[in-house]
């Protein structure tokens, strides 16, 4: 019997080693140490180096190996539903608008950051990664679009009237010029068009008394916006905005000096730096209301798999504690060219482009993080395409009213 026990013990050790060699994880035994030795993080290739640098610093102070695994960003959320537990991550880096679905299907766990950590963030950043009153993610970076102005071709506008007149005057000076290079294309782009939407009084979802988004309170065709919709018809007639322009055309027009005004975000930092163009980055000027952008809030989540791996405590310390502090947020921001969500970290940013995009985010609206937002994007974008396509355009009031009706039906149908 003693020999049998020894053989069984030896076999267990060999199997555990084999799992390690093939990249899997053995489940923690009842007698195993509760101290984690490795935390696995999923992120995309664009953020990999920055996430590796910052989280490895945390790992060294705690004697924990951090393994940053590259995944396609758009597939991280869905892959959590199908991944085998042994190959699953403990932490993911994701977008705030994933929060509702991730929380609803139990892929991530609730977090309980301290009051001191919470005080470091603007309220909207924390709410962006909360769902049904619980915090599921810690925001680390803000991402938004701004108005890029080629200062050699046009003065920086401080009012909407200035932007409109200067953009149209530039367009009329030569063939192939674009007034405002804002991307749409055949499928539309509700994200890049949002400043124009908010500036006319549009919004996607209203809020309940507790602050939670209410999918039954749709603002796509609210009364105020519809009363201002005739301005879109005017922009279409004069050629200020043209939905036939896609992302590549908008970018190329600005870089080729065929557009003095471009709507884009910090992902174009390198292109702007290499262009040789003298430019300024500002928020789109107030139209009827402040023309604020959609905010993309990115951050860290702890997955449900961390508990099974014996890494829950370590993962929560990394996410809720370490990544919530100004030092880690600043390091991540400078390594990844994204403005930090932490207020104190933001004050330390001196990079002119990053700082300018940060200022252009003021008053921005986090993209709704509830599952019903999936029913909005296509039809909201389509309303802009139909109303700004030039000849034969649908009156904006009609286009947005129809979009709101279709969106409401989709939401009602689940």
191 φ, ψ (degrees, to nearest 5): -65, -55
Q: Are the C-beta atoms of 364 and 293 separated by less than 8 Å?
A: yes
Return the SS3 of 212: coil
Token pair of 155 as six digits: 């003065």
CATH number at residue 355: 3.40.190.10
Q: pTM (2 decimals)?
A: 0.82
Would 24 be classed as within a structural domain? no
What total number of domains does the chain contain?
Answer: 2
Calculate helix-pair angle for 230-238, 377-387, nearest 10 degrees: 50
User: Are 349 and 390 members of one domain?
Assistant: no
pLDDT of residue 300: 98
With a cut of 70, list the residues of the chain below it in pLDDT. Answer: 1-34
User: Are 164 and 183 members of one domain?
Assistant: yes
User: Are 383 and 248 members of one domain?
Assistant: yes
Which position has the token pair 């986090």?
A: 366
Would 176 be classed as within a structural domain? yes
pLDDT tens track for 174-196 = 999 999 999 999 999 999 999 99
Helices (H), 200-279: 223-228, 230-238, 247-255, 269-275
Would 1 be classed as within a structural domain? no
Nearby residues of 195 by Cβ (< 8 Å), 6 or more positions away:
145, 147, 263, 283, 284, 291, 292, 293
User: Are 275 and 309 members of one domain?
Assistant: no
Would 22 be classed as within a structural domain? no
Instruction: Give kind and range of the element (H or E) at residue 88.
Output: none
User: Are 85 and 234 members of one domain?
Assistant: no
Q: Are the C-beta atoms of 240 and 404 separated by less than 8 Å?
A: no
pLDDT of residue 26: 45
pLDDT of residue 406: 98
Exposure string of 231-264, with b = 16+ CB inside 10 Å and e = fewer, is: bbbebbeebbbbbebeeebbbebbbeebbbbbbb
Q: How far apart are CA 166 and CA 161, in angstroms?
A: 8
Token pair of 332 as six digits: 């991540």
pLDDT of residue 25: 53
Nearby residues of 386 by Cβ (< 8 Å), 6 or more positions away:
243, 393, 394, 399
Cα distances (angstroms) measured from residue 205 to each of 12, 196, 371: 55, 17, 12
Return the SS3 of 263: strand
Q: How far apart are CA 300 and CA 315, in angstroms?
A: 10
pLDDT tens track for 68-120 = 999 999 899 999 999 999 999 999 999 999 999 999 999 999 999 999 999 99
pLDDT of residue 239: 98
pLDDT of residue 23: 43
Would 11 be classed as within a structural domain? no
Range of the domain at 325: 35-143+296-360
Which position has the token pair 């985010």?
A: 361
Would 172 be classed as within a structural domain? yes
User: Are 352 and 384 members of one domain?
Assistant: no
Would 30 be classed as within a structural domain? no
User: Are 281 and 187 members of one domain?
Assistant: yes
Nearby residues of 403 by Cβ (< 8 Å), 6 or more positions away:
220, 221, 379, 380, 382, 383
171 φ, ψ (degrees, to nearest 5): -60, -40
User: Are 130 and 158 members of one domain?
Assistant: no
User: Are 325 and 383 members of one domain?
Assistant: no
Would 8 be classed as within a structural domain? no
Give the residue among 275, 278, 282 at the shortest CA–CA distance from 251: 275
Q: How far apart are CA 164 and CA 159, in angstroms?
A: 9
Q: How far apart are CA 286 and CA 168, in angstroms?
A: 18
User: Are 104 and 45 members of one domain?
Assistant: yes
Q: Which residues pair with 70 in a beta bridge?
A: 43
User: Are 285 and 233 members of one domain?
Assistant: yes
Q: For residue 120, how many C-alpha atoms fall within 13 Å in the half-sphere facing its CB?
A: 26
pLDDT of residue 337: 82
User: Are 113 and 159 members of one domain?
Assistant: no
């Amino acid at each position: 019997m003693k020999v049998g026990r020894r053989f069984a013990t030896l076999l267990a050790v060999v199997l555990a080693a084999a799992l390690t060699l093939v990249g899997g994880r053995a489940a923690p035994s009842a007698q195993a140490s509760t101290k984690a030795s490795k935390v696995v993080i999923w992120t995309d290739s664009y953020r990999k180096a920055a996430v590796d640098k910052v989280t490895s610093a945390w790992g060294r102070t705690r004697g924990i190996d951090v393994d940053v695994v590259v995944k396609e960003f758009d597939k991280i959320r869905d892959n959590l539903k199908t991944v085998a537990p042994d190959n699953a991550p403990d932490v993911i880096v994701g977008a705030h608008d994933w929060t509702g679905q991730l929380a609803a299907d139990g892929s991530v766990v609730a977090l309980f950051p301290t009051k001191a950590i919470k005080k470091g963030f603007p309220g909207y950043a924390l709410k962006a990664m909360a769902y049904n009153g619980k915090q599921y993610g810690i925001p680390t970076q803000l991402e938004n679009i701004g108005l890029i102005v080629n200062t050699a071709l046009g003065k920086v506008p401080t009012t909407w009237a200035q932007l409109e007149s200067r953009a149209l005057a530039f367009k009329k000076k030569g063939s192939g010029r674009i007034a405002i290079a804002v991307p749409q294309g055949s499928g539309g782009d509700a994200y890049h068009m949002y400043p124009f939407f908010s500036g006319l009084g549009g919004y996607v979802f209203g809020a309940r008394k507790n602050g939670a988004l209410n999918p039954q309170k749709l603002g796509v065709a609210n009364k105020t916006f519809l009363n201002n919709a005739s301005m879109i018809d005017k922009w279409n007639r004069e050629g200020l905005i043209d939905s036939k322009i896609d992302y590549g055309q908008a970018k190329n027009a600005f870089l080729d000096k065929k557009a003095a005004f471009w709507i884009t975000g910090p992902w174009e930092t390198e292109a702007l730096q290499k262009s040789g163009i003298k430019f300024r980055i500002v928020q789109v000027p107030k139209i009827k209301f402040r023309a604020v952008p959609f905010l993309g809030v990115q951050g860290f989540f702890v997955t449900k798999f961390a508990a099974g791996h014996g890494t829950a405590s370590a993962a929560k310390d990394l996410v809720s504690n370490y990544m919530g502090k100004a030092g880690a947020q600043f390091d991540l921001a400078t390594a990844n060219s994204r403005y930090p969500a932490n207020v104190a970290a933001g004050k330390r940013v001196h990079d002119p482009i990053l700082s300018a995009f940060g200022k252009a985010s003021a008053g921005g609206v986090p993209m709704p993080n509830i599952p019903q937002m999936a029913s909005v994007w296509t039809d909201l974008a389509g309303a802009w395409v139909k109303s700004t396509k030039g000849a034969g355009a649908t009156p904006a009031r009609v286009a947005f009213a129809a979009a709101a009706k279709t969106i409401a039906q989709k939401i009602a149908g689940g």
